[in-house]
Amino acid sequence: MNTESTDTTNAAVAADATPSEVVRPKISDYRRHLLICTGPRCTQNGEAQDLFDSLGAKFKAAGLNDGELRVKRSRVGCFAACKGGPVMCVQPDGTWYYNVTPANMDRIITEHLVGGQPVQELVFHQGPTGG
C-alpha cells in the first residue's frame, strides 16, 4: 500500500474542507449554579455521581427545575478539595459544602436554594460574594 499517496490525498481533502460554522450555545436563565465534584478522590464509591443523578427529581419537587429559582447543575472532575466529600459549590453565592449526603442535600435545597440561607454547619469555605 502506498501510504504517501494516501497522506497526500488526506491533506488535500483537509485543505479543501470549509470550516463549519461554530454554533453559539444557549442556556436557559438560572438563579444559581450547583457544581458537584464527581472525581474519584472526592468519593470512592460513586456517592457524588449518585447525588448528582438524584438532583433532577429533587429540583423538580422543590420547584428549582424552572422559573425564577431555577438551579443549573454541573459535574466537575476535581475541585482539589479532596476530603469530606461529596463536595459541592453553589454559585454565584461562593458557598462551598462538604459531606453532602442525600439528607444534607435535602437541607441545602430547602434552606439555601429555596430559602436563601446557607446551611452553615456544612459550609467549609465562603467565597467573595458571601451568599
Q: CA 12, 16, 19, 20 torsion: positive or negative? A: negative
Residue-averaged pLDDT of the chain:
87
- Separation between Cα atoms, residue 69 and residue 63, nearest integer Å: 7
Is the pLDDT at 60 greater than 90? The verdict is: yes
C-alpha cell at 44: 470512592
Is the pLDDT at 8 greater than 70? The verdict is: no
The contacts of residue 77 (CB under 8 Å, 6+ apart) are 37, 38, 39
Q: How confident is the model at residue 50 (pLDDT cuts 50, 70, 90)?
A: very high
CB atoms within 10 A of CB 38: 22
- What is this structure's pTM? 0.79
Is the pLDDT at 45 greater than 90? The verdict is: no
State how far the alpha carbon of 41 is from the alpha carbons of 5, 88, 90, 96, in Å: 48, 14, 20, 17
State how far the alpha carbon of 35 is from the alpha carbons of 7, 14, 22, 32, in Å: 44, 39, 26, 10
